[in-house]
Amino acid sequence: MEVKTEKPKSDATGVLKRIAGPVVTAVGIDAHMYDVVKVGNEELMGEVIKIQGENIIIQVYEDTSGIRPGEPVINTGLSLAVELGPGLLTSIYDGIQRPLSVLVDKMGDFIQRGVSAPGLDHAKKWEFKPLVKEGASVGPGSIIGEVQETNIVHRIMVPPNVKGGVVKSIRAGSYTVDEVVCTLDNGAQISLMQKWPVRVPRPVNEKMNPTVPLITGQRILDGLFPIAKGGTAAIPGPFGSGKTVTQQQLAKWSDAEIVVYIGCGERGNEMTEVLTEFPELEDPKSGKPLMERTVLIANTSNMPVAAREASVYTGITIAEYFRDMGYDVSLMADSTSRWAEAMREISSRLEEMPGEEGYPAYLAARLSEFYERAGRVKTLAGSMGSVSVIGAVSPPGGDFSEPVTQNTLRIVKVFWALDAKLSQRRHFPAINWLNSYSLYLDSLHDWYDKEVSPEWNAIRSWAMEILQKEAELQEIVQLVGSDALPEAEQITIEVARMIREIFLQQNAYDAVDTFCDMKKQYDMMKAIRQYSDLAYAAQSAGVTPQQIISVKSKNDLPQIKFIKDYKPALDKIQAEMDAEFNALRSAA
Amino acid sequence: MKEYRTITQIAGPLVFVEKTEPVGYGELVNIVLFDGSTKRGQVLDTSDELVVVQVFETTAGIGKDSGIRFTGETIKMPVGRDMLGRILSGGGKPIDGGPEIVPEKRLDITGAAINPYARGSPNDFIQTGISTIDGTNTLVRGQKLPIFSGAGLPHNQIALQIARQSKVPGSKEAFAVVFAAMGITKEEANYFMQDFERTGALERAVVFLNLADDPAVERIITPRLALTTAEYLAFDLGMHVLVILTDMTNYCEALRQIGAAREEVPGRRGYPGYMYTDLAGIYERAGIVKGKKGSITQFPILTMPGDDITHPIPDLTGYITEGQIVVSRELHRKGIYPPINVLPSLSRLMNLGIGTGHTREDHKKVSDQMYAAYAEGNDLRGLVAIVGKDALSERDRMFLEFADIFENRFVRQGYNEDRTIEDTLNLGWNLLATLPVEQLVRIDRDLINKYHPKFTKAGKAEG
């Protein structure tokens, strides 16, 4: 596949005809769809979104107040593209890849308009180390060298839209992102940076099936509803159900090598929390700041709406670029509903015929195009890489039947149903275990068998069964009270309570409990299983449910969550549990 | 300045003008009536052929013979130090009989977005003296925390109590209140004004009043004028500003009215599709800027139509603000003041402002435990209604009782009762002490040993 980032220059300068909010109309330019244009005397950045006879309709990424008809419009002839190269990591961008720190230097604490800022630092020099020799033949996407960017090695690739050939010259040394480090015999010149249009997916060799889970350290996710590397998940949640915290936990703890976090139309103060917290957080694996493997995109709700629409594409293009180097990338988009609303807002300014609830008719197509850019792939260079996409959805009024949630659910494979009721009773993460699902359970079965325990898949099913049973029993309890249940079922209720309170509840703010590896998850679940087995055995031996429920040693189980070297304590509890039940049985 | 007499159409709050020189989008427009009086408006849509102007006052008196003057600049607000203590109309004109404001600066009322990178992290605990806020939904400086209320509920009293009692313990920095009323009745406005005067708050307040009988469209700019003033006080003069916006529901109605007049494609319940972005442009003007002394904390108040929290106004608000304080009709009926229902209430920035160094180390755990216990007790009420109290287990009965005690001792407090955070947390412990220690599963053992009345000296002496 060939993608040209530069089109033939048509030196078109036109004039503005109409301005109505973020959508303006120009005449007198020769433009293609999605060309980037400079609007008005202040040269605000915009993008062509509709061509109607003479009229070129443009969405503007900045505030248009004060712009008048008659001001000039210049077509750059380029598509909206991002700069990809060393310097991406640790960066914080707005929706159109302008570094926010550079914007602060250029225009102060508030976002003003008409300031352009390149995505990468063009003055900084990077130490380039070639990995191929002169005379080697390379193709599109081949890795020719590397740069130690942070603790992450940034692999320098032949851009996918450059024809392959034989390396004519390649030099180690210190370069800016613009300097040529390698030339091919066909004349192609390769620098540390490449540009890629954000609305075009980067090509891959082959899409593979996802068979490895993305470990997040969150028990309800890894244990019950796992997402695969290269998979897609949706977190729909009414406001106040802990969606943002869940997403931030994922960004912090998931075992992806690169994290791209898109704050799309969200709260400024929450972005600040991310921006101040990430640099301080330690990556559990490398011990380095988490920021060193992170790219943040922050387009808060009061920043221009067109840039919000673009932010999602900017983010996924950056994610794909790191995937092409052979990394596992996880991308969080918070929130795709805000993105869809940006589409709706622009669509309504275009006076397009609305679809459901005023959303444009192409909503479903745009959503599926976006999620389809996720995946575990064999890259052009032949290595394995993945982009996992976790999109938050904010259904208005918590109503899951609304178009954005529904269209998202048709595409994604994992659904983590946040539940305001659970968060009200401070059950965190407030993910409803009955409504959530993961369609990756089968493809990940073997991995859990091999890497965790051959017993894991069975114990997971057991836990789900108990929880399901509890839901049915609760309906009866609601009517007649818990004492009226048969003895065995009273025990089921107690075991389910333990699964909920011990296993499912997890404290994101506790230094230890915030991350729980698979080994510990397995050990915890096994301890609950042990209690359950002993309890049913005791009950059939004639011990009363009251006695079983008031077994003392199990009260210490919740504390295991907060202990780092939990094994001795857990062993002790399990031994005591055995002893207590032995005593009960012999007394009965 | 050129004056056009080319009005072609007047519809609702919109005036359509033809054949003008190029006019800027968002420009301020003066409309001169036949009697020489002027009205103000703003350009909503501009092109070579037609300019659409939204008039902030009633369009009564505007006709094809009215003159239109384009000022060539967007709407600016004159701001100055002497605004403190003044009462202005919803359009920013003094209505207290005092002199015009002496402007030190003229600021664009749309306000630019704070660069997320320049934002400071909000983590100063604000003590409101209300237990349900301080203890379980803690407010921090720079937060926007709306009050979701309903018609006939005492949200105004709560807002005033907060405005009166709010302080950062141990801090003596300059602070100010900006109060913007949109479409509230004269009676309600008087209630606020009297309280401001009684407590002396007026001298450090700026009041904007758009009353129920003032033009609805003016409400579109009232909160923007208020927030522009607040930004000046906070970021130029270094004050900590508390902004009260009431009632945001009236603001949204005005927004819908304009959308309908422009014949826009309506979104949910007829509100315009851009309402989220529009509201974000208001609510997001809260916060702290790194390296600047002041801060803006927002208390928007809105009445939920039909007490429906899923209505577009509270719904979109909740997605932008950092939590919400929900006022409950049920608690109000029980005669409890302030009738704040903690279950659906939330402060998203709470964890930044509590714990060691802010309030007390046990704050989060105590709060979580009370929440959980109250939620459980509250659920059991439904069950009791069906099976009666006798069918409950002993454990359930304790939680049921906890819910009652919680409402009567923790939620209920006096209109002038200003509880310190220590009072609130100790009260929380006293309530939790009614439950068996082993039921306090959310609190670590060492905190229980340190604070639980059963284990502390004071508690032991009492017991």
Q: Letter for the amino acid at B63? A: G
Per-residue pLDDT tens digits for B55-76: 988 888 899 889 999 998 888 9
Greatest CA separation found in chain B? 87
More confident residue, A230 or A400: A230
pLDDT of residue A508: 87
Q: Is residue B142 less than 8 Å (CB to CB) from chain A? A: yes
Q: Which residues face A180 on adjacent strands?
A: A191
Q: Do B265 and A110 count as a contact with CB atoms less than 8 A apart?
A: no
Give the mean pLDDT of A220-236: 94
Termini Cα distance of chain B: 82
Per-residue pLDDT tens digits for A496-540: 999 999 999 999 888 899 999 999 999 999 999 999 999 999 999
Q: Do B441 and A501 count as a contact with CB atoms less than 8 A apart?
A: yes
pLDDT(A175) > 70: yes
Q: Do B118 and A268 count as a contact with CB atoms less than 8 A apart?
A: no
Note whether ipTM > 0.85 here. no
What percent of chain B stands above pLDDT 90?
61
Mean pLDDT lowest among A217-226, A265-274, B215-224: A265-274
Run of H or E including A328: strand A328-334
Per-residue pLDDT tens digits for B282-315: 999 999 999 999 999 999 999 999 999 989 999 8
Model pTM above 0.90: no
Q: Do A19 and B316 count as a contact with CB atoms less than 8 A apart?
A: no
Q: Which residues in B144-188 belong to E strands, given as ranges?
A: 147-149, 175-184
Residue A238 confidence class, pLDDT cut points 50, 70, 90: low
Shortest alpha-carbon distance between residue A268 and chain B (Å):
6
Find tokens 């995937």 and name the residue.
A323
* Token pair belonging to A559: 């504390």
Q: Do B281 and A302 count as a contact with CB atoms less than 8 A apart?
A: yes
Give the mean pLDDT of A465-490: 87
Q: Is residue B312 less than 8 Å (CB to CB) from chain A? A: yes
Q: Do B119 and A104 count as a contact with CB atoms less than 8 A apart?
A: no
Per-residue pLDDT tens digits for B245-274: 999 999 999 999 888 888 887 878 889 888
User: Cis bond leading into B362, ω under 30°?
Assistant: no
Q: CB-hemisphere CA count at 13 Å for A555?
A: 14
Chain A residues touching B285 at Cβ < 8 A? 302
pLDDT(A88) > 50: yes
Strands B295-303 and B240-246: what pairing?
A: parallel
Give the mean pLDDT of A191-216: 95
Chain B residues touching A273 at Cβ < 8 A? 121, 349, 352
Per-residue pLDDT tens digits for A552-565: 999 889 989 999 99
pLDDT of residue A8: 47
Residue B447 confidence class, pLDDT cut points 50, 70, 90: very high
pLDDT of residue A1: 40
What percent of chain B stands above pLDDT 70?
98
Q: Do B316 and A396 count as a contact with CB atoms less than 8 A apart?
A: yes
pLDDT of residue A319: 97
B293/B234 Cα distance (integer angstroms): 7
pLDDT of residue A284: 67
Q: Do A68 and B112 count as a contact with CB atoms less than 8 A apart?
A: no
Give the mean pLDDT of A173-197: 95
Per-residue pLDDT tens digits for A90-148: 999 999 999 999 999 998 899 888 888 999 999 999 999 999 999 999 999 999 999 99
Q: Letter for the amino acid at A191? A: S
Q: Do B116 and A271 count as a contact with CB atoms less than 8 A apart?
A: yes
Q: Letter for the amino acid at B388? A: G
More confident residue, A468 or B460: A468
Average pLDDT of chain B, as a whole number: 90
Average pLDDT of chain A, as a whole number: 90
Shortest alpha-carbon distance between residue B280 and chain A (Å):
5
B178/B186 Cα distance (integer angstroms): 18
User: Cis bond leading into A429, ω under 30°?
Assistant: yes
pLDDT(A4) > 80: no
Per-residue pLDDT tens digits for B327-367: 999 999 999 999 999 999 989 889 889 999 899 999 999 99
What is the 3-state secondary structure of A236-287?
Answer: ECCCCCCHHHHHHHHHHHCCCCEEEEEEECCCHHHHHHHHHHHHHCECCCCC
> Which of B52, B73, B119 should be substituted to probe chain A, the one whose Cβ sees the most A Cβ atoms within 10 Å?
B119
Q: Which one of B121, B309, B442 has the shortest CB-CB distance to A272?
A: B121
Nearest CA in chain B to A358: B267
Calculate the CA dihedral of residues A204, A210, A216, A217 and round it to 10 degrees: -150
pLDDT(A7) > 80: no
Residue B462 confidence class, pLDDT cut points 50, 70, 90: very low
Find tokens 């379980």 and name the residue.
B136
Mean pLDDT lowest among A81-85, A579-583, B381-385: B381-385
More confident residue, A30 or B327: B327
pLDDT of residue A240: 62
B146/B303 Cα distance (integer angstroms): 10
Q: Do A66 and B26 count as a contact with CB atoms less than 8 A apart?
A: yes
Q: Is residue B387 less than 8 Å (CB to CB) from chain A? A: yes
Give the mean pLDDT of A479-502: 88
Residue A40 confidence class, pLDDT cut points 50, 70, 90: very high
Shortest alpha-carbon distance between residue B127 and chain A (Å):
20
Q: Letter for the amino acid at B379? A: D
Residue B11 confidence class, pLDDT cut points 50, 70, 90: confident
Chain B residues touching A64 at Cβ < 8 A? 25-26
Q: Do B387 and A398 count as a contact with CB atoms less than 8 A apart?
A: no
Q: Which one of B310, B315, B320 has the shortest CB-CB distance to A301?
A: B320
pLDDT of residue A2: 43
pLDDT(B460) > 60: no
Nearest CA in chain B to A275: B117
Q: Do B393 and A65 count as a contact with CB atoms less than 8 A apart?
A: no
Size of interface A-B (CB pairs under 8 A): 231
pLDDT of residue B15: 93
Calculate the CA dihedral of residues B89, B94, B97, B98 and round it to 10 degrees: 150
Helix or strand or coil: residue A190? strand
Chain A residues touching B376 at Cβ < 8 A? 425
Look at residues A101, A157, A102, A104 and name the one whose alpha carbon lies nearest to residue A128: A157
CB distance A529 to A456 below 8 Å: no
Mean pLDDT lowest among A394-403, B67-76, B162-171: A394-403
Domains of chain A: 13-79 (2.40.30.20), 88-103+205-440 (3.40.50.300), 121-192 (2.40.50.100), 456-587 (1.10.1140.10)
B105's CB contacts (< 8 A; 6+ apart) are B78, B79, B80, B232, B236
Backbone dihedral region for residue A263 (phi beyond 0: left; psi -120 to 50: alpha; all else: beta): beta
Shortest alpha-carbon distance between residue A111 and chain B (Å):
5
Q: Which one of B25, B74, B273 has the shortest CB-CB distance to A348?
A: B273
Chain A residues touching B296 at Cβ < 8 A? none
Nearest CA in chain A to B382: A478
CB distance B405 to B435 below 8 Å: no
The DSSP letter of residue B112 is P
pLDDT of residue B458: 58
What percent of chain A stands above pLDDT 70?
97
B305/B308 Cα distance (integer angstroms): 6
Give the mean pLDDT of A267-283: 80
Q: Which one of B119, B376, B441 has the shortest CB-CB distance to A425?
A: B376
pLDDT(A28) > 80: yes
Give the mean pLDDT of A411-427: 87
B180/B161 Cα distance (integer angstroms): 16
B347's CB contacts (< 8 A; 6+ apart) are B133, B137, B138, B139, B140, B143, B145, B322, B323
pLDDT(B1) > 80: no
CB distance B241 to B296 below 8 Å: yes
Residue B463 confidence class, pLDDT cut points 50, 70, 90: very low
Find tokens 């967007």 and name the residue.
B74
pLDDT(B174) > 90: no
